[in-house]
Every structure is written in C-alpha cells, then in structure tokens.
A and B are shown apart, each in its own frame.
Chain A
Amino acid sequence: AQKVTQAQTEISVVEKEDVTLDCVYETRDTTYYLFWYKQPPSGELVFLIRRNSFDEQNEISGRYSWNFQKSTSSFNFTITASQVVDSAVYFCALSQNFGNEKLTFGTGTRLTIIP
C-alpha cells in the first residue's frame, strides 16, 4: 500500500521569508514517481514537479526547489522569498510505476503568505 504524509496542516509565513513543506512517503515499489501540485483558491490543481525514484538530484526552478532523499523517504518542497501569490494548498503525491499513474495524495498543506 502507498501512503503520503504531509504532517504540516497549515503554515503561515511573512512575505519574503523562506518556507519548506514536508512530504514523507511509503511504498513497496522500487520504481515510483513523486509529485507536487499547487491548489489555489480557484480549486484547479497546478502541476509543479514530477520526479522518478531513480533521480535523487535536487531540483531548482526559480524560487522553488525540491529535496528528494530516498534514505528518509522524503520529498520536501522549499519556496524562497515567498510571495502572497504562493498562498495555496500544496499537495504531495505518489504514483506507481509504469502503466498506471494512479495518484495517492497527501492531505495537503495550506500555506498562507502574510503581506
């Protein structure tokens, strides 16, 4: 069985601060994919990143960065110099290997950036 845990239910930070959203996963598959999605108040899920289990390199995209560590089964997401537009619910998700991208979502972290 697969499981994704986002222990942080809600986080509030002041604008321009850095913030890290934690994600811990459980799976018996040796090959799997990890995702982060952003869900703004409008409700539409916005894809942020997909990472396969063989690629442990950290990734940076603008103010966003991701730290994947298989040793701790974690895939954390950091926003640097946060902005009010970053306010949203962020979901971490996990999918099985090939042929079935059925996603298992974490419970989400509601991030509020205070101006």
Chain B
Amino acid sequence: GAVVSQHPSRVICKSGTSVKIECRSLDFQATTMFWYRQFPKQSLMLMATSNEGSKATYEQGVEKDKFLINHASLTLSTLTVTSAHPEDSSFYICSAQTTGSTDTQYFGPGTRLTVL
C-alpha cells in the first residue's frame, strides 16, 4: 500500500524559532498533498492544500506567511512554521493523494510540535 512518511516525528523548539516538517510519499507520486493540524482531543483541521509546482491554497484563518508550504517535487512537501509560539504547539499531519480524482488520500504518521 501507499506509504507516507513525516520527519521529524517529534520536535521541541523555543518560541520565536522556525521549524520545518517534511512529508514524503515513499512509493507513489503525489500531485496533491494536504496539511492538517490537530489539537489535543480535537479533530483534524485542514490548513492548506499543496499542489506540486504551484502555490499552496490556504484555508480561511490560516496565515500563509506563518505556515510556509513548499511542494517542490512529486514526493516531497514541506511545512515551515515560522516564528513559532506556544499556541502553535499541535500535532501536524500531512496526507498525499495520487494522480487522479478518485484516488484515496494517504496519511503520514504526524509530527508533534511543542513550542516552549
């Protein structure tokens, strides 16, 4: 089956620093990747949709200058949380979708970010 990896799995950083999270599709090409955020005991909320070679589409209320998304290749998308603050602490999950509108979305294992 399709495998999506995320790195790092956990990260702790100081307030004001930037953190980069990588999402990779290991055995398929992902034309579209999605980034979700999940606060403790809450549901997943879509942050942005990322298409290879183009700018990401952000959901309402998500600051695009704070959450930088790059989808430079068909197997890699990155999310950079710039100038992180404690309120950005969350579980960040990416998913990848193969080419074609009827393909299922496969999720990565998530990255737990803690900002001190």
Q: Which residues of A contact B67 (CB under 8 A)?
A: none
List A60-115 residues whose CB lies under 8 Å from chain B.
91, 95, 97-108, 110
Q: Which of A50, A103, A108, A110 contacts B34 (CB 8 A)?
A: A103
What's the dominant secondary structure at chain B's contact region?
strand
Tell me, in angstroms, the Cα distance from A37 to B110 when the chains sit together: 14
B44 touches A105 (CB 8 A): yes
B43 touches A107 (CB 8 A): yes
A44 touches B49 (CB 8 A): no
User: Hey, which bits of chain B sit against chain A, CB under 8 A?
Assistant: 32, 34, 41-46, 49, 91, 93, 95, 97, 101-110, 112
Q: Which of A42, A98, A110 contacts B102 (CB 8 A)?
A: A98
Mark contacts of A7-47 with chain B using CB atoms, 8 A cut-off: 1 yes-contact digit, 0 otherwise: 00000000000000000000000000000010000111101
Q: Which residues of A contact B97 (CB under 8 A)?
A: 101
- List the B residue with the shortest CB-CB distance to A9: B41
Tell me, in angstroms, the Cα distance from A83 to B29 when the chains sit together: 36
Q: Can you identify 18 A-B contacts, CB atoms within 8 angstroms?
A: A43-B91, A43-B110, A44-B107, A45-B93, A91-B44, A97-B101, A98-B101, A99-B101, A101-B32, A101-B101, A101-B103, A101-B104, A102-B34, A103-B44, A103-B46, A104-B46, A106-B43, A107-B42
Tell me, in angstroms, the Cα distance from A97 to B101 when the chains sit together: 8
Q: Which residues of B contact A50 (CB under 8 A)?
A: 104
Tell me, in angstroms, the Cα distance from A110 to B91 when the chains sit together: 17
A108 touches B107 (CB 8 A): no
Q: Which of B102, B103, B105, B112 contacts A103 (CB 8 A)?
A: B105
